[in-house]
Amino acid sequence: MHRADLQVLLDSHYCFRNEFEDFKKPDPIMVVRMWKDKPYFQEVALFCALFSYGNAAKIVEFLQSIDFTLFEKSEIEISKTNFPYYRFQKRDHVCQAFLTLRRIYQNGGLKHIALKGYEKGTFKEFKILGVINAIIEALYKNLDFKVFGTQTIPKPLSFLFQKPVVHIARHSALKRFCLFLRWMVRKDNIDFGVWDEIDQRDLILPLDTHTFRLVKQLGLINYQSYNLKAALLATQALKQFCINDPVRYDFALYRIGQEKLFI
């Protein structure tokens, strides 16, 4: 597809979604929006993003079953709650993930952690990776994994929290953390934009396997491995259409793939 045609396609889908999206088709942001006026909104958003893998309808069903007012309760009350399970995560794993985020909320919240990581900058060229690494490190720091009677973190939780980035070409695409940051940093009718200290041009496309196939089909990238490098290449390619906000196209790309629209 020629660049001019691709520009029209992407911009038209972005504008349409941003103006007319009714969220009748499942997306985890539907649940996040329900809690946007709560002081623990950012921690709710990260919880929703961490569990945003698998079938969209199942994700939303699971997230809607969580009582996020538990952020206002004590750890003892939360520990006694019968959380639902989700795919790889058993009820106890879900409970500990929730408790981890509540501890972060009680200790000052995610934003100050994110901004410190942004200022520090783990990778000089990609400041946003410093944000992601800082959040991942905070998750492990606040996780009481010893409740499982082991000296190692259970695999379902290490899958959920992932690992800090050391080598870009060897790391996963970090889709769920990039999705969370899209929600927090960008601001339009879809995303919330509550972290305006972070430049939206630094965001990385939340690349899942479906979007990965789509960006290759559109000719945006010619890279065969689904990993963090692919996400960075796709983001860089989108900058030719909107250098200051390349991730604006993420939700449109997601819907194009989800609805199997003719391209």
* d(C-alpha 101, C-alpha 48), whole Å: 11
Alpha carbons 205 and 91: distance in angstroms, whole number: 31
pLDDT per residue rounded down to tens, the chain (263 residues) = 788 999 999 999 999 999 999 888 899 999 999 999 999 999 999 999 999 999 999 999 999 999 999 999 999 999 999 999 999 999 999 999 999 999 999 999 999 999 999 998 767 789 999 999 999 999 999 999 889 998 889 999 999 999 999 999 899 999 999 999 999 999 999 999 999 999 999 999 999 998 999 999 999 999 999 999 999 999 999 999 999 999 999 999 988 877 776 55
Q: What does the chain come to in residues?
A: 263
Helix axis angle, 175-185 relative to 41-50, nearest 10°?
A: 150
Q: What is the pLDDT of residues 246-257, one digit of tens each?
A: 999 999 998 887
Strand partners, 86: 89
Phi first, then psi: give them for residue 61, nearest 5 degrees: -60, -45
Residue 67: CB atoms within 10 A of its CB come to 11
Domain residue limits, the chain = 3-258
Model confidence pTM above 0.85: yes
- Burial code (b: 16+ CB inside 10 Å, e: under 16) for 226-235 equals bbbbbbbbbb
